[in-house]
A and B are shown apart, each in its own frame.
Chain A
């Protein structure tokens, strides 16, 4: 046996390890031998926790003593669509308490779908002297008071991003809590806020932060204020406008045009609430440099949209409402050959008949015209197998394909058949597909295709699809790399789940709501697989008060080394060895 491990200086190994950033690589090297494990754990600085209940703070801190950056995710994805009842969990406070005492040099906290209280924010503000970055993505539970604490105390803060969080907006005064001596802001995203902030405070803040690269304003900042801000920050790379409207005065348009054209680094635009089309030409001068354009809140009709995108030959990402229509997507396919990501959102999703002329044709055009297109989210009202096959053949490079046909169980509108073969074509041709959302009328056959071809699929979303447990069985037994599976309103019951129980330990999580999994099966899973947390969510009362064969409302299963959690509300129960004996 060579004594290499002991003779090779630790510092050298540490230096070598510092070139490895990905968690996967770091996990691998930590398994080489005990000394490498020790060295690696002392020098790992970035931690990603995909499910905050999969591990406890204590376990994390015990292994990694010196962490500078942490990402935590809480609620399951379907929480975005109100399927996870309020109070389910995802509280960050216990984490912050633990992190505050263990990592005084923590610099970055990124949270997604977690409940963050003002108390948590205050603790963050006071505990980490070198705190630099706070991203709260789709979080809730805090108010602008919490933001005031952050603004007042974090002297080295560089990034504050409230990405689509649900903030209790008490007032805009929090922004004035940034002291006059504070100059380190690099990125600010307050697009989700509602209250007006002091414009002069905002202007002064922007003016004294020379490193500001990204500024995403909220709706309460009118267009006539934007010019002043842009004059103070011509170095901006990302801009989110506020409301894109103002009283019609002659100087607004010219001021805005000249302010925007002075921003030569601008690559990304978003915002555009309440658009008055008269002001759209102001952005034309920067269009050629744009790589990202988010018009998903913009009520702009297709002629104006076409004018806009036709001037963006370097566009890589476009988020837009279905006002763009098929004609607009045709124009997009012609002008934007570098397009990588397209999201088309529905303007009027709760009406059955189409209010715009956006069909499968638009998606066909882009798949044909944009050779680099990899990621699609598309809401439409009709689809055909033929179209899907064409799309798959046009663009085998999809890594993320999410199609939402607005009416559940809609068949191929030409043949009235299920869309099985269409989605089959997608999974067969797109060999690198890692994320898939399906919709429309689908039988178990569709899932057979997915299980057969979806070998690289990591995340799959199903709704109103399938005929029987066979469908779920195909997916669980076939998709080797499946990490996250979320299902709603599908006729899947106990059999497939129990037959593939071991698979669940290889996945991050499984969500099933309005399916047919019985309480008995949940108990069985919980008892037999101690490394899984099997959570039954049922607002009708404890499932033991009903026959065991009846289905539970919602089921969330995730692997965990932390054991069952104890912060559950009274409509969530963890199935484990004791659940059979536990009193209701």
Chain B
């Protein structure tokens, strides 16, 4: 048994259906009253079985049915376990390690399966652009708590003091910006100052700065209003919208990692170079501090005075 994980021996079935069977038979004899067994796949029509048990009201009846099941299932369980062990698909997942097996009922929700398959297919088919593209979001994966998620916001702004793969990655992403033109969506993260939860916008869904700006207003209005005053959510009107765009400034981070003011370059150039967006209160621009020790100035630094 200790050699099970020995890499030298090719891990084909040295397995022990016997051992597993023994254990389950022990379980069977131990607790017949509560043990429920259904037959192995294909040997029993399970859908016919369930209605039989569904409406049983008397104890005696249920015991009898349970016992019947147990007798039948006990004989077949050993067969089932042995069969399943032998029929384990050994090599199907080797071919496409990242695309979920279509036969598997891995995701009960068909929508989430297709989402995953699409993203996996897109990713494996275009290996080059894999570098800085986020995967299609799977709820709750990777398993990190919300309070740890926003760190990525700052991480890309900081360049390491020493040589590291981070710099080579940024160089790769410069060359990759051309690839983004061939796709029909370009989701970038957008964070608003004071709002802990970020959103994502599809830059390719808009064709001008004005449309992007109003879309961003829409995105954050709800969150902002909820933070300010719960009752005000229902009273939102167009005047609120204008107030937001007047008092906030839109920045973006380009493919070189620099923070830039939105609006200087032609729209198409902006879409191809923008990696992340950020919304700051206009009043806060004057007290902007860089959290890294990079000496280079952004246009904002030269335009605004730093410090109170």
- Answer yes or no: are A and B bound together in one complex: yes
Q: A residues within 8 Å of B by Cβ? A: 78, 80-83, 138, 164, 192, 194, 245, 247, 274-278, 296-297, 299, 301-304, 321, 325, 345-357, 379, 385-386, 389, 404, 406-411, 416-418, 420-422, 424-425, 428, 437, 441, 443-445, 448-449, 452, 461, 463-464, 467-470, 473-474, 477-478, 488-491, 493-495, 498-502, 505, 514-516, 520-521, 523-525, 527-529, 548-553, 580
Partner of B36, one of A389, A410, A420, A528: A528
Partner of B11, one of A192, A303, A421, A444: A421
CA distance A325 to B165 in the complex (A): 11
Q: Say yes or no: A164 contacts B107, CB within 8 Å.
A: no
In the complex, the chain A residue whose C-beta lies closest to that of B157 is: A299
Q: Say yes or no: B31 contacts A502, CB within 8 Å.
A: yes
Answer whether residue B202 sits at the interface, using C-beta atoms and an 8 A cutoff. Answer: no
In the complex, the chain B residue whose C-beta lies closest to that of A411 is: B97
CA distance A420 to B134 in the complex (A): 27
Q: Say yes or no: A551 contacts B108, CB within 8 Å.
A: yes
List 17 other contacts, CB 8 Å, given A81-B145, A296-B148, A303-B161: A81-B141, A83-B140, A194-B196, A302-B162, A345-B144, A352-B135, A409-B93, A445-B88, A449-B5, A468-B88, A473-B20, A477-B20, A477-B24, A528-B36, A551-B105, A552-B108, A580-B55
Q: Say yes or no: A80 contacts B143, CB within 8 Å.
A: yes
Answer whether residue B266 sits at the interface, using C-beta atoms and an 8 A cutoff. Answer: no
Query: Which of B84, B97, B130, B289 counts the most chain A CB atoms within 10 A?
Result: B97
Contacts of A549 in B (CB 8 A): 46-47
Query: Which of A347, A428, A474, A525 counts the most chain B CB atoms within 10 A?
Result: A347
In the complex, the chain A residue whose C-beta lies closest to that of B38 is: A498
23 contacts between A and B (CB under 8 A): A245-B291, A299-B154, A301-B160, A348-B151, A349-B142, A349-B149, A350-B152, A351-B152, A407-B135, A410-B98, A411-B94, A417-B94, A420-B11, A444-B88, A445-B88, A449-B4, A467-B89, A470-B81, A478-B23, A505-B34, A514-B109, A521-B50, A553-B108
In the complex, the chain B residue whose C-beta lies closest to that of A488 is: B140
Q: Say yes or no: B36 contacts A499, CB within 8 Å.
A: yes
Contacts of A277 in B (CB 8 A): 293
Expressed in whole angstroms, the minimum distance between the Cβ of B183 and any Cβ of chain A is 15
Answer whether residue B1 sits at the interface, using C-beta atoms and an 8 A cutoff. Answer: yes
Contacts of B152 in A (CB 8 A): 347-351
Partner of B53, one of A297, A500, A527: A527
Q: Say yes or no: B11 contacts A445, CB within 8 Å.
A: yes
Q: How many A-B residue pairs have CB under 8 A?
A: 250
Q: Say yes or no: B137 contacts A350, CB within 8 Å.
A: yes
Q: Say yes or no: B142 contacts A404, CB within 8 Å.
A: yes
Contacts of B291 in A (CB 8 A): 245, 274-276, 299
Q: Say yes or no: A474 contacts B109, CB within 8 Å.
A: no
In the complex, the chain A residue whose C-beta lies closest to that of B97 is: A411
Contacts of A354 in B (CB 8 A): 165
Contacts of A325 in B (CB 8 A): 164
In the complex, the chain A residue whose C-beta lies closest to that of B40 is: A495
Partner of B142, one of A353, A406, A467, A550: A406
CA distance A493 to B131 in the complex (A): 36
Partner of A164, one of B11, B130, B145: B145
Within 8 A of A (CB), among B3-45: 4-7, 11, 15, 19-20, 23-24, 27, 31, 34-38, 40-41
Q: Say yes or no: A303 contacts B162, CB within 8 Å.
A: yes
Expressed in whole angstroms, the minimum distance between the Cβ of A390 and any Cβ of chain B is 11
Known: A194-B196, A444-B88. A501 touches B34 (CB 8 A): yes
Chain B 100-136 near chain A by CB (<8 Å), digits 1 or 0:
1000111111001000000000010000001111110
Q: Say yes or no: B50 contacts A524, CB within 8 Å.
A: yes
Query: Which of A78, A477, A505, A529 counts the most chain B CB atoms within 10 A?
Result: A477
Known: A80-B143, A489-B107. A357 touches B165 (CB 8 A): yes
Contacts of A527 in B (CB 8 A): 53-54
In the complex, the chain B residue whose C-beta lies closest to that of A505 is: B34
Within 8 A of A (CB), among B201-218: none
In the complex, the chain B residue whose C-beta lies closest to that of A495 is: B38
Known: A299-B291, A428-B5. A351 touches B142 (CB 8 A): no
Answer whether residue B71 sits at the interface, using C-beta atoms and an 8 A cutoff. Answer: no
CA distance A277 to B293 in the complex (A): 8
Within 8 A of A (CB), among B164-223: 164-166, 169, 196
Partner of B148, one of A345, A474, A489: A345
Q: Say yes or no: A491 contacts B166, CB within 8 Å.
A: no
CA distance A524 to B1 in the complex (A): 37
Q: Say yes or no: A348 contacts B53, CB within 8 Å.
A: no
Expressed in whole angstroms, the minimum distance between the Cβ of A243 and any Cβ of chain B is 10
CA distance A548 to B49 in the complex (A): 12
CA distance A491 to B165 in the complex (A): 37
Contacts of A514 in B (CB 8 A): 106-109, 112
Answer whether residue B2 sits at the interface, using C-beta atoms and an 8 A cutoff. Answer: yes
Partner of B97, one of A274, A416, A448: A416
Contacts of B105 in A (CB 8 A): 491, 493, 515-516, 551
Q: Say yes or no: B5 contacts A421, CB within 8 Å.
A: yes
Within 8 A of A (CB), among B59-104: 62, 66, 73, 77, 80-81, 84-85, 88-89, 93-94, 97-98, 100, 104
Known: A296-B148, A386-B7. A379 touches B106 (CB 8 A): no
Partner of B134, one of A296, A351, A493, A500: A351
Contacts of B31 in A (CB 8 A): 502
Expressed in whole angstroms, the minimum distance between the Cβ of B152 and any Cβ of chain A is 5
Q: Say yes or no: A452 contacts B112, CB within 8 Å.
A: no
Q: Say yes or no: B140 contacts A351, CB within 8 Å.
A: no
Partner of A425, one of B5, B84, B169, B196: B5
CA distance A499 to B73 in the complex (A): 10
Contacts of B24 in A (CB 8 A): 473, 477, 499
Q: Say yes or no: B155 contacts A301, CB within 8 Å.
A: no
Known: A303-B162, A406-B142, A448-B15. A348 touches B155 (CB 8 A): yes
Q: Say yes or no: A346 contacts B11, CB within 8 Å.
A: no
Known: A194-B196, A245-B291. A452 touches B1 (CB 8 A): yes
Q: Say yes or no: B135 contacts A355, CB within 8 Å.
A: no
In the complex, the chain A residue whose C-beta lies closest to that of B5 is: A421
Q: Say yes or no: B143 contacts A404, CB within 8 Å.
A: yes
Contacts of B247 in A (CB 8 A): none
